[in-house]
Amino acid sequence: MMKFLKLAFIYIFCFFAVAWVCGYPFGEALKTIPETMVAASPNKVRLAPLPNGVNPFFILIVSFLLGSLIVIVSAALNQERQEALQRCLVGMVVLHSLFAGFQYAGLVSDLDKDFDMRGWHLVKVGNYFSGPQNPKILAEQIKIMVFPRTRLKLDFRSDLSFERDPNFYLLRSLSYHLYPIDIRNIRPGEFDGALLMGVADLASAVPSEYQYVFPLGRNDAIALKEGLDSRR
């Protein structure tokens, strides 16, 4: 056990020594490194660089090399050369644990941001669905406007391009949250109306066969066929 603790101390000491050389003394490193470890997306978990541009992975690699050098030299001096490589492998696990510790600290601080701990109020959903597009809120707004018609099929029209983000995401998100109001042509048959979004000239964009127009914003509206007006 003492051997392991000694080994852990060497590698952890090397890590913080390298961090210090890179401009992050012990306390600063403990505070700053966890903040770089929360940039997750479904395709990769990015490691953000530290504020002065140094990548924490660079610190990890250099500290591993430094720690391993110390371990190999001390093993050679103590006539324990056979064990040196095993100790390096254990050292890698020590650094893995240290990184995992930072990662847990990052997760906890991330959760703290997502929840208002005093009232157990969830703010993350609000964060994800806020912003200029607001797809979930917009979907709820549309559902309320056309109530009690819940199974409409709407023709989605826009002057914007939906080939790239953020509009690409907006359309998918809106169509998910709107369903069973169908804007992705899932159900065959005629349209019951149109959903106009980001249309420059709204007045001329509303097709003549649609009569009831509910404005959603300056460039957005819902137009429904005659007989589908919910407020009559």
Indicate the length of the chain as a whole number: 232
Single residue of 20, 162, 179, 214 touching other proteins by CB under 8 A = 179
Q: Rounded to the nearest whole angstrom, what is the least distance from the CB of residue 25 to other proteins in the complex?
A: 22
Neighbours of 215 (CB within 10 A): 12
| Closer residue to other proteins (CB): 76 or 93 | 93
Residue written as token pair 């979930």: 136
Cα separation, 193 vs 223, in Å, equals: 5
Single residue of 22, 47, 70, 145 touching other proteins by CB under 8 A = 47
Q: Is 65 in the site for other proteins (CB under 8 A)?
A: no
- The helices-and-strands tally (H runs, E runs) of the chain is 8, 8
Single residue of 27, 53, 188, 227 touching other proteins by CB under 8 A = 188
- Both tokens assigned to 193: 């109306």
**40 bridge partner residues:** 45
| Closer residue to other proteins (CB): 50 or 175 | 175
Kindly identify the residues of this chain, within the stretch 91-120, that bind other proteins according to CB under 8 A.
92-93, 95-97, 99-100, 103-104, 107, 111, 114-115
Cα separation, 222 vs 93, in Å, equals: 59
Q: Rounded to the nearest whole angstrom, what is the least distance from the CB of residue 97 to other proteins in the complex?
A: 7
Single residue of 20, 129, 162, 214 touching other proteins by CB under 8 A = 129
Distances from the Cα of 227 to the Cα of 138, 198, 212, angstroms: 24, 26, 9
- Both tokens assigned to 112: 């703290």
Q: Rounded to the nearest whole angstrom, what is the least distance from the CB of residue 215 to other proteins in the complex?
A: 26
Q: Is 82 in the site for other proteins (CB under 8 A)?
A: yes
- Both tokens assigned to 26: 């012990």
CA 218 to chain centre: 30
Q: Rounded to the nearest whole angstrom, what is the least distance from the CB of residue 218 to other proteins in the complex?
A: 26
Cα separation, 82 vs 41, in Å, equals: 43
Q: Which chain residues interact with other proteins by CB under 8 A?
A: 1, 37, 40, 42-47, 56-57, 60, 82-83, 85-86, 88-90, 92-93, 95-97, 99-100, 103-104, 107, 111, 114-115, 122, 124-125, 128-129, 151, 169, 172-173, 175-176, 179-180, 184-188
